[in-house]
Structure 1
Amino acid sequence: MLKTIISFILIFGVLVFIHELGHFLFAKRAGVFVREFAIGFGPKLYQTKYGETLYTLRMLPLGGYVMMAGDDEEDYLEENQFIYLEVNEEQVITMIHLTDNASLTLLPFYLKDIQLEHGRIRGFWPENDVLQSLPIVKESYIITEDNKKIQIVPEARKYSSAHLLNRFLINLAGPLFNFLLAIIVFTGIAFFLPGIPSNSAVVGEVVPDSPAAQAQLEEGDQIVAIEDQKVSSWNEMVSILSDRGNIETTMKVEKKDGSVESVTITPKLIENEDGTSHGQIGIHIFFDKSFGAKITYGLKQTWGIIASVFTVIYSMLTGSLGLDQLGGPIAIFQATGEVTHSTGFIGVLSFLGFLSVNLGTMNLLPIPGLDGGKIFLLLFEAIRKKPISKDKEYMITLIGVVCILILMLIVTWQDISRLFLN
């Protein structure tokens, strides 16, 4: 159990870190002020500040976030309220306190207008009724009622002020980094394998004295047609030959030198344990040992998983696959345990790559609250030439988050039910 827990935390930690790293690096590239880079949710286990960003490790390892500067400073300020200021000799604000901490250096101020986007606030000193406009220095902070320190960020460095293309790339970067991780993992695995199994109908090792050996098939030959029916994959070839046990069969074979030959072969009839039978010519799948095959393996595996995820989504939309077939964190935890104990290090790496592709693909779905939902809103903004209002965006995101939470609760309940029923 301890081994499973550690593996689960490490796998999710790597997935979340890589995903959020994509958002973080592209936010920095766009000049957006990043307040916090967090792995996990809940109470802080560890924190350190480097530069302008706070890096935190939190208790629950099921996610993470990159907190970019938006209009969050204004969330703590209200018009027509008393605040307390620290100012320098030039009457420039260096600190805004929401409550009086009994310090003699704090000056009470009646806040009339919030103009942080212009680098100032307006209001009145208690002793006069002349409207004052006070500037804010670059490194000014808001000290909240619970003593939280929020840096006031220049308007140009807020996420909402970034160019539309930069905001698009910031949201796209998380899923893309998950795909990149999967490609690197699968490519690395390829170099530990004796060869890459080919999906083409290429002859691998030939069993001695088999029909294939008698027909003088050699490793590297490719079967291109069976009984004038074109063959494009290994599975297609196996399916055709399976129905031709003890039946003389004509095949077109492309030899290693590029020539095409017609050979006659009679697949051997093999009896199965369930009483059925199938034809077999006595060849193994071909393993490509070339450097190019190993390099492209990561791309092919990643694309194959992406395609399978969309196949599952399509099946759900058409009703051929129900929600009861989905698994949540508990199912992933169980799968992690099975992989950890039965397949070893390579199996764990493969599982990591599989989950990374799934995480990246699911995050690209145009669902509010996910990266894909944000990208969809940005595309909508690009079409109409202006962003939707903040209130509407908030409501859309809120609805999406609620739907995701409901789905997660349903899936988690199914995981629990399966756990106890089994």
Structure 2
Amino acid sequence: MNTLLAFLAIFSVIVFVHEWGHLYFAKKVGIMCHEFAIGMGPKLFSFERNDTVYTIRLLPIGGYVRMAGEEPEESRVRPGHEVGLVFDRNQQVTEIIVNNKDKHPEAHVVQIEQIDLVHELFIEARDEETDEMIRYAVSDRALVVEDEVAERIAPWSKQFHSKSIPKRAMAIFAGPLMNFVLAFVILLGLALYQGVRLSPEVVVSDSPDSKTAIQAGLETGDVITAVEGAPVSSWKEMTAEIERYPGEEVTIEFERAGELKQTTATLGKREIAPGKYQGVLGVHGISEFSVLGSIEKAVNDIYRTATSIFNTLGLIFTGQFSLDYVAGPVGIYNFTGQAVTQGWITVVFFTAMLSVNIGIINLLPIPAMDGGRLVFLGLEAIRRKPIPREKEATIGFVSFALLMLLIIVVTWNDIHKLFS
């Protein structure tokens, strides 16, 4: 149960922050957003606020913000339809009742001859009583009501494609950006809470992890001054040098009680990406409170995670890539369970790392991802005309279908690994 709650909490926070980035910046540049959704599939819960419907959906495999005009929309009100019109005091249409007109006795029933709810905002209709053709002005905040569910119309000035390329790009890029912001805030908070290791003064414990340091003769309180001849003056410099020599014997210079000493150590090694390792000495540092040090640590953690992800993705081009290097919802659930057993700090750190992963994956130039949409905007800027929306929508749909297929395959692989 703890794993399930942690998984849902992590998923909800990461997806919420990502989609909130899209929503906030889209609205900032004047784009109407019809829906803000957490999850996919059937709707579990919803409410409406400021022209946007906020929904929680069943399947925890993502979320979305449905921006007006971002994809070709089929009008639900067309010439030949019989609809009910509700007017304001200025005789502008404020509601268009598509069906169940008997529930709206105040509505004036007409048969539509012509309609434009995007540019000119009008309805031309033949009055049933007089058979006269009348042109009605439509309010730019009019509602289309179908099955008693109302959705505000989206005039051209509020649609995605009416905005400049930089504004559209910002609305798209804001999602992954907020994933990096979330990771930074989490990691900064953890660093401020736990402290950061500034000095190369080491702590050697009795645990198996310190076996290499013990065999090298290091003791708690020793201050490492050089690794393999390279001077170090901080914990960051020391660990960077140690990581360069996985599994190798290195010379370590250190200071003990004011006296300079030297020893050799055969380092352990830690796999950080498929086929890539870091050297490990098996010492811990002394944590100190430092705002600047915490900021630096948070940035370095994000950088290391991003580098590891790109190294793994790079294996695609070398033919060394394996499905075992990626995880779907089941795999993430499994990792969440492992984090829960190690305590809340590990769970919070895992959340930050997963947020970085999702931010980077979303920026890949795949049409179904934010990165793919940014590519289309780049092509539009180069061509000085947009890619035909039908073609963009078709490419996006095919890519999304392939992405769902990949998720299914990865999920099956995750399940297989659980029971193998």
TM range (shorter): 0.7 to 0.9
How far did residue 154 of structure 1 move? Answer: 2.7
What corresponds to 2:51 in structure 1? 52
1:314-358 CA deviation, whole Å, 9 max, x = no partner?
1023211122432211111111111102x1011001110111000
Secondary structure of residue in 1 paired with 2:293: helix
How far did residue 362 of structure 1 move? Answer: 0.3
Secondary structure of residue in 2 paired with 1:306: helix
TM-align CA RMSD = 3.5
What corresponds to 1:219 in structure 2? 223
What corresponds to 1:245 in structure 2? none
Cα distance change, pair 205–140 in 1 and its aligned pair in 2 (3 A): closer
Q: Which runs of 5+ in 1 are unaligned?
A: 243-248, 271-279
Aligned residues of 1:196 and 1:297 also touching (Cα < 8 A) = no
Secondary structure of residue in 1 paired with 2:244: helix
Which whole-Å CA distance do the structure 1 matches of 2:407 and 2:246 have between them?
40
Which whole-Å CA distance do the structure 1 matches of 2:381 and 2:92 have between them?
39
What corresponds to 2:62 in structure 1? 63
Aligned residues of 2:223 and 2:254 also touching (Cα < 8 A) = no
Which whole-Å CA distance do the structure 2 matches of 1:46 and 1:106 have between them?
30
Cα distance change, pair 97–10 in 1 and its aligned pair in 2 (3 A): same
Cα distance change, pair 208–254 in 1 and its aligned pair in 2 (3 A): closer
How far did residue 41 of structure 1 move? Answer: 2.8
Aligned-residue identity in percent: 30
Secondary structure of residue in 2 paired with 1:57: strand
Which whole-Å CA distance do the structure 2 matches of 1:152 and 1:392 have between them?
24
What corresponds to 2:20 in structure 1? 21
1:216-275 CA deviation, whole Å, 9 max, x = no partner?
x9515233627xxxx961123565535xxxxxx7x7x6999xxxx9x88453789xxxxx
**TM-score in terms of structure 2 length:** 0.81
Secondary structure of residue in 1 paired with 2:5: helix
Pair 1:170 & 2:171 matched: yes
> Across the two proteins, how many residue pairs are aligned to each other?
387
Pair 1:405 & 2:401 matched: no
Cα distance change, pair 192–122 in 1 and its aligned pair in 2 (3 A): same
What are the equivalent positions in structure 2 for 1:320-359 lying under 5 Å apart?
320-341=320-341, 343-359=342-358
Which whole-Å CA distance do the structure 1 matches of 2:37 and 2:288 have between them?
42
How far did residue 91 of structure 1 move? Answer: 4.2
What corresponds to 2:271 in structure 1? none
Counterpart residue identity of residue 67, structure 2: M
Counterpart residue identity of residue 95, structure 2: M
Secondary structure of residue in 2 paired with 1:191: helix
Secondary structure of residue in 2 paired with 1:416: helix
Counterpart residue identity of residue 349, structure 2: S
What corresponds to 1:267 in structure 2? 264
Counterpart residue identity of residue 81, structure 1: H
What corresponds to 1:375 in structure 2? 374
Q: Which runs of 5+ in 2 are unaligned?
A: 205-212, 231-237, 268-278
**TM-score in terms of structure 1 length:** 0.80
What are the equivalent positions in structure 2 for 1:48-127 lying under 5 Å apart?
48-70=47-69, 74-88=74-88, 90-99=90-99, 101-102=101-102, 103-116=104-117, 117-126=119-128
Pair 1:138 & 2:140 matched: yes
Q: After alignment, is 124-133 or 324-333 more displaced?
A: 124-133
- Computing the radius of gyration over CA atoms, which structure comes out larger, 1 or 2? 1
Secondary structure of residue in 2 paired with 1:77: coil
Counterpart residue identity of residue 168, structure 2: R
Aligned residues of 1:32 and 1:68 also touching (Cα < 8 A) = yes
What corresponds to 1:191 in structure 2? 192
Counterpart residue identity of residue 411, structure 1: V
1:192-214 CA deviation, whole Å, 9 max, x = no partner?
3353388xxx563588996678x
Counterpart residue identity of residue 179, structure 1: F
Aligned residues of 1:327 and 1:415 also touching (Cα < 8 A) = yes
Which whole-Å CA distance do the structure 2 matches of 1:160 and 1:350 have between them?
38
How far did residue 313 of structure 1 move? Answer: 0.9
1:270-299 CA deviation, whole Å, 9 max, x = no partner?
9xxxxxxxxx9x994655636132221111
